[in-house]
Structure 1
Amino acid sequence: MTSAAMRLLVAAALAASTGCAGGGGPATGAPPDRAAVSRPSADALAARIAGAVAASGAEVGVYYRSLAAGGDSVLVGADVRMHAASTMKVPVMIQLYRDADTGRLSMDGSLTVDTVFPSIVDGSPYALSRTSDSDDALYERAGEGVAVRELVERMITRSSNLATNLLIDEADASRVTATMRSLGADSIHVLRGVEDIPAFRAGLSNTTTARDLGVILGALASGRAASPPSSREMLAILERQEFREKIPAGVPAGTRVANKTGWITGIHHDAAVVFPEGAPPYVLVVLIRGFEEDEAAATALARRISEMAWTHHTTEAQS
């Protein structure tokens, strides 16, 4: 990328952050990142992030928001729509916990493990394979009943595709999307489970933006995504997520991070609530499209953006 193009991208990021820095506390109804209170430090963070993105050559969406009352926010490419990959598992989890709150389902109830599912395109069957799943242990239990609570744990902590497909049938994708709208995520679309190749070929995929995921995680952190006890339980599950090489790797060891990654070919995402000791929490979402053959470069970029956000946030907290 030319230096002139990089300057244009940085300028655009500054303009976007100026319109989206600041906002109210996490308990407000409307997404506080819609407010417009520019701060020089937020503009500087936006410029640093935009510079790193431009140098990478990838398409990146970043959403940062402090959850302190009056905390700032930075958006760089935050409304770029991308394949959601496994980040869509967070909305599914939220819907299930909301259903448990209302008595629609029991987290201790069980679902029978099946590895074959109907495509949303034409109902044709497709099967999940343990060789393409990050959690293969669940396949050993085909035909058995497994508690919803355990399936949610596997869906998040191990990013189990099989658990996801079992649970999304229970949650109903259309209800999941409607619930995300009610939380302020204006454009996320949860359409289907994973590995539905006929749907993928038909252009029917789960999609999101960094802003959408940021709003959802903000609602979760503030106890608005479901009941406060359920929200706390979901955050604890996210803290047990085993894939920690992106956002968690960019903060000091021992820092609490509740995150969910998502990856397919050319897609490398991470979305997190970070809890610095002695400072308010913040939300950081990094969505990356590119690096088709270089996962390490994508991981390094996400980690670098996490480092930038941490430095900015903890410096602001001390000022």
Structure 2
Amino acid sequence: MKHFYTIALLLGNLMNVLAQQTETNHLKKAIEEKLSTVEGDFALAFKDLQTGKTLFIHEHESFHAASTMKTPVMIEVFKQAKAGKFKLSDSIVVKNEFKSIVDGSLFSLDISDDSADDMYKKIGQKMTIYDLTYQMIIVSSNLATNVLIDLVGAKNANASMRILGANDIQVLRGVEDNKAFKLGMNNTVTAYDLMLIFEKLAQKKVVSKKASEQMIDILFDQKFNETIPGKLPKDVKVAHKTGSITGVQNDSGIVYLPDGRKYVLVVLSRKLKNEKQGIEVLAEVSRMIYDSLQH
């Protein structure tokens, strides 16, 4: 009789796994059909942090990072602060002169290409490292990003990604290094790797519990909310970082449901003919993921 119950339990578990797999396959197919309505290439990585359930589309393909690389830079800032290299409350002068990784020649950022133009009023003044990090994330300031990359080093941020298990994220340089851009020396990400680092952040395992909580608080204040949060109910909170350049709309973060559950979602795109349509379809996909967890 005991063996009968064991077999029945195993069969029950197997049936549950198969039912979940079928459900995931249906959702994946529906998402792929939705994405096919817009011209462009897409990648997606989803992980339910309660059940471990995942859904992947082209998760290991490299995409232009755009501003999603600013999350690795933030992690490196907090890591070096914890190591005692500086305090987050320390101030540094905001400058607009940076060295190309190609030949060391100087370049400056163009205010018209930056979403955070208020930062340019700060040139020549001092800002705390924390405030620069905050501006880098919530309004995606390119100027703050380059000042911080000069401080912590792109190579160090890249090495920290490897320690976290993100083997394919490439943090090579600051923003608007046009010589590097022309040579194809770009920051790149995969949906899978961004999922990994946001999962570790959600688990408060990045740098320290306190640092993880501080970084999540910054990500909660994100001002660009059209994509992952775009079509979600107002009581759903998202700690996330977007990224956009011509033909590219990315978003990556942790979604917190009112009942305490949370999941990680990363959506990447490239070769978008119509960026507005790209944002719209990715917001709809985000809603499809959310809806799938409501029963």
Tell me the TM-score normalised to structure 2 length. Answer: 0.91
**CA–CA distance in structure 1, aligned partners of residues 109 and 262 of structure 2:** 37
Moved over 6 A (4+): none
Instruction: Describe the shift of the 1:180–1:38 C-alpha distance in structure 2 as closer, same or farther (beyond 3 A).
Output: farther
Is 1:61 the equivalent of 2:43? yes
Q: Which moved more, 1:99-108 or 1:38-47?
A: 38-47
Residue 293 of structure 2 corresponds to: 313
**CA–CA distance in structure 1, aligned partners of residues 154 and 113 of structure 2:** 22
Residue 8 of structure 2 corresponds to: none
Residue 110 of structure 2 corresponds to: 129
Residue 181 of structure 1 corresponds to: 162
Task: Map Cα deviations across residues 183-225 of structure 1 (whole Å, 9 max, x no partner).
Answer: 1111110000000000000110000111111111111111111
Tell me the TM-score normalised to structure 1 length. Answer: 0.84
Q: Which moved more, 1:42-51 or 1:227-236?
A: 42-51
Superposed counterparts of 1:265-280, under 5 Å: 265-280=246-261
Aligned AA for 2:275? E
Report how far residue 97 of structure 1 moved: 0.7
Instruction: Describe the shift of the 1:177–1:223 C-alpha distance in structure 2 as closer, same or farther (beyond 3 A).
Output: same
CA radius of gyration, larger in: 2
**CA contact under 8 A between 1:49 and 1:76: conserved in structure 2?**
no
**CA contact under 8 A between 2:41 and 2:272: conserved in structure 1?**
no
**CA contact under 8 A between 1:250 and 1:310: conserved in structure 2?**
no
Report how far residue 144 of structure 1 moved: 1.3
Aligned AA for 1:63? A
Aligned AA for 1:142? I
Residue 3 of structure 2 corresponds to: none
Superposed counterparts of 1:106-255, under 5 Å: 106-255=87-236
Aligned AA for 1:310? Y
Report how far residue 279 of structure 1 moved: 4.1
Residue 29 of structure 1 corresponds to: none
Aligned AA for 1:243? F
**CA–CA distance in structure 1, aligned partners of residues 20 and 153 of structure 2:** 40
**CA–CA distance in structure 1, aligned partners of residues 97 and 269 of structure 2:** 30
**CA–CA distance in structure 2, aligned partners of residues 165 and 313 of structure 1:** 39
Aligned AA for 1:160? S
**CA contact under 8 A between 2:235 and 2:258: conserved in structure 1?**
no
Aligned AA for 1:100? A
Residue 283 of structure 2 corresponds to: 303
**CA–CA distance in structure 1, aligned partners of residues 98 and 218 of structure 2:** 26
Residue 102 of structure 1 corresponds to: 83
**CA contact under 8 A between 2:34 and 2:281: conserved in structure 1?**
yes
Report how far residue 41 of structure 1 moved: 1.9
SS in 1 for 2:278: helix
SS in 2 for 1:305: helix
Report how far residue 307 of structure 1 moved: 0.5
Aligned AA for 1:103? G
Report the RMSD for the aligned CA atoms in angstroms. Answer: 1.4
SS in 2 for 1:314: coil
Residue 93 of structure 1 corresponds to: 74
- Over the matched positions of the two proteins, sequence identity in percent amounts to 37
Aligned AA for 2:149? I
SS in 1 for 2:115: coil
Is there any run of 5+ residues in structure 1 with no aligned partner, and where? 1-21, 23-36
**Structure 2 residue aligned with 1:44, among 13, 26, 34?**
26
Is there any run of 5+ residues in structure 2 with no aligned partner, and where? 1-16
